[in-house]
Amino acid sequence: MASANALRSLIRPVIPVAPRIHPVVLARAPFTTSSVLAAAPPPTIKSRRDLPKKTKKTYKKKANIVAVKKPNPGERKAFRKRIQLSNNSALPVQGLDELSAEALANHESKGKMFAIPDQVVDQLRALEAFKTTQTWNLFRRPHFLVREETVEMMRKLQDSKTNKEAFKCVLTGSRLSGKSMALLQAMSHALLDGWVVFHIPEGQDLTNGNTEYSPVADTADPMQFAQPVYCLKLLQNIYKANKPVLEKLQLQNDWSKMTNLKQGATLADLALSAKESEYAWPTLNALWTELTLPGRPPVLFTLDGLAHINKISEYRDPSFNEVHAHDLVLVRMFVDALSGKTKLPNGGAIIAATSENNSHHHPSQELVLSQLEAGQAGKEVPKPDPYERKYDERVYDALKNSFVMRLEGVSKEEGRALMEYWGASGLVRDVLNLRTVSEKWALGGHGNVGEMERVALMTMRM
């Protein structure tokens, strides 16, 4: 057995030891505090408002956005300009007289309400005689009040038919006094009496530059311009409103150069012959020429917004000069009839209405109307302002032969009849006695129809 000392004497194996790793010291820049001193100091906290605010995380789910169908082109405009002529929620008024041509010219009809027949309503709608600002949508069926001025105007229309002379009239008055309603009453009388009715609902549509226009051939000094798209629409409206009368009238002139109509064609066929806008103005001019021949029915030509056709329009000629509104052929047709240059051998009427809601200052028109009105009343005729340089002789020539009819407030008796109809329709809850009528009449600007509607019916409008 080997001893312990012998075991200790054994030589241990030699294991090589790796050399010690010494750290490498890199050269550093000397310590400096310039960057700390150059930094901007933190903002001073003067109040609790200056403390940094913690942002809270929201874990709400996003709402589901439902895709909405966009309106089609022209849909919003049609909705904005829609005309509602009946309301089934309104009470039907019993004992309401039906409108007739004789009733409008009868003195006993003053201060009475009349319902418009359904056939005439369709014709007036085709002519665009109803306005969006009128309160047709509050009642069961269309109606209007026959005023003293209404009877006077209808009697003049009858006299023009009897005497075969044109009645040229300009309706003026304060705002909301019923000028557009008077035009509608004149059109209703003409349609019931078998007249042919032309109507331009807004004069501004002809001069504000929103309608296509083109120069008329062989016109110069000044150049004339037609509005084919508007003329085509007007021609279609005339046909829809006057179809029963136009179908009974045969052509007297030869229009084979512009149409393919055969002998024996009627004026209704002439109005329908214009299929494209480029033939609209020649066809409309031919229709107007046929209606101004002897042996035809009387013609009523109306326009709303007179001031817009007596100014410089927004159109330009090929040389980029401004175009006067009277150089537009459709406006020229109306102005020639209003001034008396175009004769109406069968009688008829040319009626224009001013507008206070949508108008501008027109010195020439205001001067002419004030002079005509003063001459009719036997008062001193106003003189032109010597310092005014914007007078237009063309406007004076167009209006100098007109009769001016001013429409203001209704009388208390007429206002009572109007409010009784409102009460019968369920729109006025007050007791309609003398005190209530006088109160509404006074608050409504002494009988201004539009203001009376605001006072009595504004709470009912939706």
All domains of the chain, ordered by start, with CATH? 116-137+149-407 (3.40.50.300), 412-458 (no CATH)
Token pair of 29 as six digits: 């820049």
Q: Residue written as tokens 């024996």?
A: 264
Q: Quickly count helices (H) and strands (E) in the chain.
A: 16, 12
> Are 234 and 200 contacting, i.e. CB atoms less than 8 angstroms apart?
yes
Q: Over 381-400, what HEC string results?
A: CCCCCCCCCCCCHHHHHHHC
Q: Which residues on neighbouring strands pair with residue 405, listed in sequence order?
A: 171
- 318-323 long-range contacts (CB < 8 A, ≥24 apart) are 318/215, 318/223, 323/222, 323/225
> Are 310 and 360 contacting, i.e. CB atoms less than 8 angstroms apart?
no
pTM here is 0.82
Q: How far apart are CA 383 and CA 446, in angstroms?
A: 30
Q: Measured in whole angstroms, how far is the alpha carbon of residue 312 from the centre of its chain?
A: 20
Q: How far apart are CA 147 and CA 415, in angstroms?
A: 10
Instruction: Identify the CA nearest to 209 among candidates 312, 330, 326.
Output: 312
Distances in whole angstroms, Cα of residue 229 to Cα of each of 130, 234, 237, 284, 450: 22, 9, 13, 12, 34
Q: How far apart are CA 187 and CA 302, in angstroms?
A: 8
> Are 130 and 124 contacting, i.e. CB atoms less than 8 angstroms apart?
yes
Token pair of 444 as six digits: 């409504």
Q: Measured in whole angstroms, how far is the alpha carbon of residue 132 from the centre of its chain?
A: 8
> Are 148 and 330 contacting, i.e. CB atoms less than 8 angstroms apart?
no
Q: Measured in whole angstroms, how far is the alpha carbon of residue 371 from the centre of its chain?
A: 30
Strands (E), 166-317: 166-173, 196-200, 214-215, 225-226, 299-304, 312-316
214-215/225-226 β-pairing: antiparallel
Q: Residue written as tokens 């929620």?
A: 89
The helix/strand/coil state of 166 is: strand
Instruction: Identify the CA nearest to 411 among candidates 387, 442, 380.
Output: 442
Q: Please tell me the predicted confidence (pLDDT) of residue 1.
A: 46
Cβ partners under 8 Å of residue 163, min gap 6: 347
Q: Report whether the peptide linkage leading into residue 201 is cis, meaning its omega lies within 30 degrees of zero.
A: no
pLDDT in tens, the chain (462 residues): 455 555 555 555 555 555 555 555 555 555 555 555 566 676 777 777 777 777 777 767 677 777 888 889 989 988 888 899 999 888 999 888 899 988 999 999 999 999 999 999 999 999 999 999 898 999 999 999 999 999 999 999 999 999 999 999 999 999 999 999 999 999 999 999 999 999 999 999 999 999 999 999 888 888 999 999 999 999 999 999 999 999 999 999 988 888 888 888 999 999 999 989 999 999 999 999 999 999 999 999 999 999 999 999 999 999 999 999 999 999 999 999 999 999 999 999 999 999 988 888 889 999 999 999 999 999 999 999 988 888 999 999 999 999 999 999 999 999 999 999 999 998 888 888 899 999 999 999 899 999 999 888 875 544
Q: How far apart are CA 88 and CA 179, in angstroms?
A: 28
* 352 CB neighbour count, 10 Å cutoff: 28
Cβ partners under 8 Å of residue 148, min gap 6: 110, 411, 414
Q: Residue written as tokens 């023009």?
A: 160
Q: Helices (DSSP H) in 223-362: which residue ranges? A: 228-246, 267-272, 280-291, 329-339
Cβ partners under 8 Å of residue 458, min gap 6: none
299-304/196-200 β-pairing: parallel
Q: Please tell me the predicted confidence (pLDDT) of residue 9.
A: 52
